[in-house]
Amino acid sequence: MAIAIYPGSFDPITHGHIDIARRARKLFDRMFVAVVANPHKRPYFTLEERVEITQAALVEEGVNGIEVISFDGLLVDCAREHGADAIVRGLRANSDFEYEFQMALTNRDMAPEFESVFFMTAKRFSFLSSSIVKEISMYGGDVSTFVPKSVERALLGKLGHAG
């Protein structure tokens, strides 16, 4: 049984992340979306909120068979704990490639039993990031084309404009 783990901050999850998860799910018998605590970033949503928002978004978008988990620490330790064979990552641009290449090689040095599997983003999501979504939302812009309705509601709720 092939098991994959798709890690990220998911602060918040976007249609681009969901597209990667949906496509990866087709290739693996079991899949985890792993929301990382990442103490070096200052997330907009708490870890618990990000897990809940991610679960709700996957359900809303009809992406089934994925378990959403959280972790704090090394990705390879989380992957071992869940019996993963592969680490899934998405690539948008050259800058993503450089960072992901470095991380994949580092992970391979620490845990050669895992393969890194990269998915090219769909063209329509190539510019999309959680940071952009948060910034648009903070300035009152419409993020409905970038995130599922449940994520949009969570963003509005965070800003005190629950709708």
Which domains occur in the chain, in start order? 3-126 (3.40.50.620)
The catalytic residues are 17, 41, 92, 130
Mean pLDDT for 68-90 is 96
Residue showing tokens 């940071």? 131
**Of 11, 5, 6, nearest in space to 51 by CA:** 11
| Global model pTM greater than 0.85 | yes
b vs e for 52-90, b when ≥16 Cβ sit within 10 Å of the residue's Cβ?
bbbbbbbeebebeebebbbbeeebbebbeebebbbbbbb
Residue showing tokens 């618990």? 48
Q: What is the DSSP letter of 137?
A: H
Q: How far apart are CA 16 and CA 133, in angstroms?
A: 11
Residues in contact with 4: Cβ distance below 8 Å, sequence separation at least 6, in sequence order: 24, 27, 28, 30, 31, 32, 84, 85, 86, 87, 88, 117
* Per-residue model confidence as pLDDT tens digits over 98-155: 889 999 999 999 999 999 999 999 999 989 999 999 999 999 999 999 999 999 999 9
